[in-house]
Amino acid sequence: MDVDATTCGETVGRLARRFGLSRSALLYYHRIGLLVPSMGGDGRYRRYTQGAVDRLEQIVRYRAAGVPLADIRRILDRPADGLAAVLENRLEQLNVAIAGLREQQRVLVELLRSEGVHRSVGVMSCERWTGLLEAAGFTHDDMVRWHADFERSDPEAHREFLEFLCISKPEIEEIRAWAAKLGGGRRGAS
Amino acid sequence: MDVDATTCGETVGRLARRFGLSRSALLYYHRIGLLVPSMGGDGRYRRYTQGAVDRLEQIVRYRAAGVPLADIRRILDRPADGLAAVLENRLEQLNVAIAGLREQQRVLVELLRSEGVHRSVGVMSCERWTGLLEAAGFTHDDMVRWHADFERSDPEAHREFLEFLCISKPEIEEIRAWAAKLGGGRRGAS
DNA sequence: TTGCTCCTCACGTCACGTGAGGTGGC
DNA sequence: TTGCTCCTCACGTCACGTGAGGTGGC
């Protein structure tokens, strides 16, 4: 198939299009040594062999998870070494970043209200949430017990959920405190 | 009080500490002309007058919402002009950014699973969520009606919530589609 | 011959952080 | 006199994007 040395492998522009990347991204990966193509017969044009394409596939996958290029390089060079650590690290970073953006959202909604701009943009609020649950037949007691369950079974996710409702940090801690107190007695299996 | 020309206003380090900023941040604001102190009597040291302090307070507030410095400058120079537009624009950006990070989270959880790393980190999942609701006495029918209500009353927030559960985009659209179909008939006031 | 793709610099991005190397005030 | 704070460059960050200016292959 690809016996001819000059036409062996793909050119940079073609490869970029195939993976939905920009040409300059691939040039950059070459410059930092993350993805090095062979330079063809005369050493003038980049040629990406099958091995390079496979490697790029990996790179794209990790990039879609927001893993920085330096970490990707480490993973690809010795996968056994730090793969799990890198991925879990990134997950933790993501949680922190999302919490930060939620906080910005909260501040922003506050600013919009104090500035008198009303426009009911697609941001969740605590009131809207409880309204929906009530409309579905949830009583106040149900919600209290539900928070307790949630806090007991997965405290981190419970915190994240409260952040999703755009509740301020001190209020979140308050809710979690009484939820944890109530959640002491466990009931039912699973 | 502050009649003495040489001691009028605060120094940069002191002001930075008071606002929880770094000294270099204030130097930067000066360089780009966002917050210009008077240069004291001899023009050697920065002196921040009360007017500058008030301005900094505004800057810090908008920064806490992630508004870029260029936009903050525009807002402070003519507030009537583009304040609402800038803030709403930022809110939209935040929604996009959060959705992007959620997507990264989903990809990451997928990667961790395919790589065989199990560690039940604090990420919400659809199964865990329905499990919690069932434990609180919610039936499958209740959930269906609840999604329909949610989609009808605030489609954007509904989408955000489904993203929070780390559901993939096609599945989200599927759920919203049947929820919208069911939600056609409205019931009850408010 | 006309486009299309390819190439290599070099600079810009955003909001600072981090030294290096030196001076002023209590 | 000793620290503390102040000062001004100048370079680094992260992952590319964007020209400028020029060449190769169908």
Contact between B164 and A161 using a beta-carbon 8 Å cutoff: yes
Mutation pick from B60, B75, B121, B144 vs chain A, by most beta carbons of A within 10 Å, is B121
Work out the average pLDDT over A83-95: 92
Q: Which residues of A touch B85 (CB under 8 A)?
A: none
Residue B46, min C-alpha distance to chain A (Å): 30
pLDDT of A117 above 80: no
Could you tell me how many helices (H) and strands (E) chain B has, helices first?
A: 9, 0
pLDDT in tens, B127-139: 778 887 787 777 8
The Cα B87–Cα B110 span in angstroms is 35
- A27-38 pLDDT, tens digit per residue, is 999 999 999 999
Which pTM was predicted? 0.80
Q: What is the residue-wise DSSP string for A73-137? A: HHHHH-HHHHHHHHHHHHHHHHHHHHHHHHHHHHHHHHHHHHTT-----S---HHHHHHHHHHTT
Residue with tokens 């919402």: B65
Per-residue pLDDT tens for A102-116? Answer: 999 999 998 988 877
Question: How far is A64 from B101, CA to CA, in rounded Å?
Answer: 10
Interface touch A108/B98, C-beta < 8 Å = no
Q: Of A55, A180, A152, which Cα lies nearest the Cα of B128?
A: A152
Q: What is the pLDDT of residue A188?
A: 40
Tell me the chain A residues in contact with residue B149 when contact means C-beta distances shorter than 8 Å. 132, 135-136
User: What is the rounded radius of gyration, in angstroms, for the C-alpha atoms of chain A?
Assistant: 25
Task: Evaluate the CA torsion angle A159, A165, A169, A173 in order and state its sign.
Answer: negative
Q: pLDDT value at position B28?
A: 97
pLDDT in tens, A121-132: 566 777 777 887
- Here the contacts of B139-143 (C-beta below 8 Å, separation 24 or greater) are B142/A136, B142/A137
pLDDT 10s digits, B17-71: 999 999 999 999 999 999 999 987 677 899 999 999 999 999 999 999 999 999 9
Pairwise CB contact (< 8 Å): B104 & A131: no
Q: For the beta carbon of residue B90, count every other beta carbon within 10 angstroms.
A: 21
Tell me which residue in B101, B119, B132 faces A88 most closely, judged by beta carbons: B119
Q: Given the structure tokens 């044009």, which residue do they identify?
A: A45
- How many Å apart are CA B93 and CA A159, to the nearest integer? 23
**Structure tokens that stand for B18 in this block:** 């008071």
Do A62 and B110 contact (CB within 8 A), yes or no?
Answer: no
Residues of chain A positioned with their CB less than 8 A from the CB of B137: 142
Contacts of A102 in chain B (CB under 8 A): 98
| Cβ distance of A150 and B157 shorter than 8 Å | no
Query: What pLDDT score was predicted for residue A140?
Result: 81
Nearest to B104 among A64, A121, A136 (CB): A64
Q: Cβ contact (<8 Å) for B117 and A153?
A: no
Strand partners, B48: B10
- Chain D nucleotides close to protein (CB under 7 A) are 5-8, 14-18, 24-25
Cβ of A87 and B112 within 8 Å? yes
Q: Tokens 């659209």 appear where?
A: B173
Name the residue with tokens 């049947």: B178
Which helix (H) or strand (E) segment holds residue B110: the answer is helix B79-114
Tens digit of each residue's pLDDT (9 = 90 or more) over B76-124: 988 887 888 899 999 999 999 999 999 999 999 989 888 776 665 566 7
Nucleotide nearest to B26 (CA to C1'): C16
In chain A, the residue whose alpha carbon lies closest to the alpha carbon of B116 is: A84
Is B97:A127 a contact under the CB 8 Å cutoff?
no
Burial label for B164, CB within 10 Å (0-12, 13-18, 19+), is buried
How far is A156 from B125, CA to CA, in rounded Å? 12
Of B103, B128, B138, the CB nearest to A157: B128
